[in-house]
Structure 1
Amino acid sequence: MANNSSLVGSKISLLHLGDTVIIMQVLVIIFLCINFLLIVTFFKKECFYTTTRYILFAVTLLSDSLMLFMSDFLVIVNYLEFSMQVWICIIISVVVLLYNIVTPVTLTAMTLERYVAICMPLRHAELCSTRSTMHCILIIHGLSSVPCIVVLSTFFASASFSLYKQHRLCALKMFMLHRWQDHVTSAVQEFYFLIMCGIIIFAYLKIMKAAKAASGEDKKSSWKGLRTVILHGFQLLLCLIQLWTPFIEAAVFKIDFMLFIDFRYSNYVLFSLTPRCLSPLIYGLRDETFFHALKTFAFFGSYKINI
């Protein structure tokens, strides 16, 4: 009787987990479709791919799309309990680790661009040229690769050669062979996010000061830039909370396994998916120029005719 009840309980748990994974697939597909629409719109007009803030916006869309696709692939693989060789998992994890940091670093660069545009308008054309933006993208990827290098370096230093050919479920936790590796990784990531939060706060205070001193159209532009910085700050906050969730998950795991599963998927939706769907909202819908271009493309040019 006890065996039957435990069997029924495990079947209910699997069904519940399956429903959660299906809901996540729907959300990821919706976000990827929206991002694809925005990326295509970006390449439709020359003014977008020659302007710094739109170029950086496209970088966030591409990194978010890649991050969503790869992380969702890992969710499906782990749900199906499909194991792979460790060296293959390393390649996949490099992409996930890198682009998990690229988005918040790019958001910080976008915040600095707004700061320059509002507080240093005479130097904006010089500092935010297309050439400078290309260099900025390289710097963003260089800075974003440091946490990834730290994780992999500590793993390579601790792992034996036989481990790379073993078949395991692919998860980022697999790289944490010792407790100290987890602490080092968390310390590096938290240091990054503290620096980024400091830059966001600095830009917010400077833009607020400029907004109070401005008048007319300049005042309107300044307050709009201030709202953009606030939204970037909220995105970074969600990304920062994501760093703390593994510690909470570890505590929940000791209490109840199904609660741990629910908590883990909720964290993925709230702190991985949500920050990455805010970028389309900030620049895809709030930006008037981009929104008009998006509607023109989405309605196959009929919107343009109506105007």
Structure 2
Amino acid sequence: MTNNSSLSGGDLVPRRITIQVIIVQVLVIIFLVINFTLIVTFFKNENFITTTRYILFALTLLSDSLILIMTDVLLLLSFFQITMQVWLCVIISVLVYPYYKITPVTLTAMTLERYVAVCMPLHHGELCSMRTTVHCILIIHGLSAIPCALILCTFFATASLSSYTEDRICSEEMFILYKWQDHVRSSVQQAFFFIMFIIIVFCYFKIMKAARAASGELKKLTNKGLRTVVLHGFQLMFCLTSLWCPLIETAVLQISFKLFIDVRYFNYIMFSLSPRCLSPLIYGVRDEQFCFALKHYILSGFHNRKIGFPDK
């Protein structure tokens, strides 16, 4: 989506492009306001900032918010045909692109946390301590940086020194100079998400097995964990589908440029913006404690720090 404007020509009515950009701005603002409200709710409560699943949830909110802001900025730069030198785009990419992967990797970590809570409750306190959570966050960032590092390494190995001072519209496609680089990128990303999807499926069946053997309150907990894992898998599928979007867009471009713009716009809304609102849906609405705290702070104007949670 970041280079839509650079591709647009006389086939596209400027007014139509303006309407599309305005729609994106409205959606981005709505999602950022929701995320900001949830982030403030997280930091206002001591119970949340010491619990692993809420810390990981806050991590997804922060990374999603950063991605929303940066993709929106790149979209506007592209819309107004503002270019930058390649070296500057490389720096931006190093800082931003790893956060594209942080959300799915964190979702996998959150799924493993639910697996430990349901299937290994006696070890949950030890395995999900604050120290372990900090190490987990570092591992998440390290794993998320792998695809970006591979893309940039192949670019550094093939790009000439003079290309770093060229003015271009900043986008990920700018680093793909040869077709084999695109194949490497797709292979790494799909292997990346395939491993995460296998982990989520494994946790789903383990929790489902525990749910069948449980009874009473434990059965209620396992069923809730099972639904959470399903939602994590659904959100991960959104991220996986976005990997196939460039292939679809390339094929559509051979048919019609106007159709290509429409498809790319749809893909951006559906597979880039939409997944960013699923995390608030999963924990901001479904989680009883977080939902209670959110309502409390909204009604009180975020002035009170301590609240009493309802019994589970």
Pairwise TM-score range, normalised by the shorter structure: over 0.9
Secondary structure of the structure 2 residue equivalent to 1:299: helix
Q: Which residue of 2 aligns with 1:124?
A: 124
Matches within 5 A, 1:85-104: 85-104=85-104
> What is the rounded CA distance, in whole Å, between the counterparts of 2:137 and 2:165 in structure 1?
35
SS at match of 2:254: helix
Q: Distance in 1 between matches of 2:93 and 2:257?
A: 25
Distance in structure 2 (CA, Å) of the matches to 1:173 and 1:10: 23
Letter in 1 for 2:258: M
How big is each residue's C-alpha offset from its partner over 1:104-156, in whole Å with a ceiling of 9 and x where there is no partner? 00000000000000000000000000110000000000011110100000000
Distance 1:70 1:173 in 2: 16
Aligned length: 298
Matches within 5 A, 1:168-207: 168-207=168-207
Q: Distance in 2 between matches of 1:150 and 1:46?
A: 39
- Residue 252 (structure 1) aligned with residue 247 (structure 2): no
Residue 29 in structure 1 maps to residue 29 in structure 2: yes
Q: Cα 1:179–1:12, aligned 2, differ >3 Å: closer, same or farther?
A: closer
What is the CA RMSD across the aligned residues, in angstroms? Answer: 1.7
In the alignment, is the contact (CA less than 8 A) between 1:56 and 1:110 conserved in 2? yes
Residue pair 1:71, 1:96 contacting (<8 A) in 2 also: no
> How many Å separate the matches in 2 of 1:201 and 1:253?
35
**Matching residue of 1:5:** none
What's the CA shift for 1:301? 5.7
Alignment of 1:148-227 (within 5 A): 148-227=148-227
Which residue is equivalent to 1:58? 58
Q: Is 1:134 the counterpart of 2:129 in the alignment?
A: no
Amino acid at match of 1:69: I
- Give the Å deviation of 1:12: 5.9
Partner of 1:107: 107
Change (3 A) 1:258 1:50: same
Relative to structure 1, is the Cα distance of residues 94 and 265 closer, same or farther in structure 2, using a 3 angstrom cutoff? farther
Please tell me whether the aligned partners of residues 13 and 258 of structure 1 are also in contact (alpha carbons under 8 angstroms): no
SS at match of 2:97: helix
- For residues 109 and 12 of structure 2, the distance between their equivalents in structure 1, rounded to whole angstroms, comes to 46
Structure 2 letter corresponding to 1:200: I
**Counterpart residue identity of residue 148, structure 1:** C
| Range with greater deviation from structure 2 (88-97 or 157-166) | 88-97
Q: Give the TM-score taking structure 1 as reference length.
A: 0.94
CA-CA distance at 1:299 after TM superposition: 1.3
Aligned partners of 2:11 and 2:257 also within 8 Å:
no
Say which SS state the counterpart of residue 54 (structure 1) adopts: helix
State the one-letter code of the partner of 2:93: S
Q: Distance in 2 between matches of 1:11 and 1:278?
A: 35
Aligned to 2:5: none
- The 1-side partners of 2:232 and 2:146 are apart by 22
Verify: 1:263 aligned to 2:270, yes or no: no
Unmatched segments (≥5 aa) in structure 2 = 1-8
1:285 correspondence with 2:280: no
Tell me the distance in 1 between the aligned counterparts of 2:42 and 2:49.
7
Q: CA deviation at 1:200?
A: 0.4
Return the alpha-carbon distance in structure 2 between the equivalents of residues 12 and 152 of structure 1. Answer: 33
- Which runs of no fewer than 5 residues in structure 1 stay unpaired? 1-8
The C-alpha deviation readout for 1:12-34, integer Å capped at 9, x for no partner, is: 62211110111001000100110
Calculate the TM-score normalised by the size of structure 2: 0.93
Amino acid at match of 2:99: Y
Partner secondary structure for residue 13 of structure 2 = helix
Percent of aligned pairs sharing the same letter: 63
**Using the alignment, how far apart are the partners of 1:62 and 1:11 within structure 2?**
38
Cα deviation for residue 93 of structure 1 reads 2.1
Question: Which residue number corresponds to residue 6 of structure 2?
Answer: none
Deviation, 1:96, is 3.4
Q: What one-letter code is carried by the residue in structure 2 that aligns with 1:236?
A: L
Whether contact under 8 Å (1:239, 1:275) holds in the other structure is yes
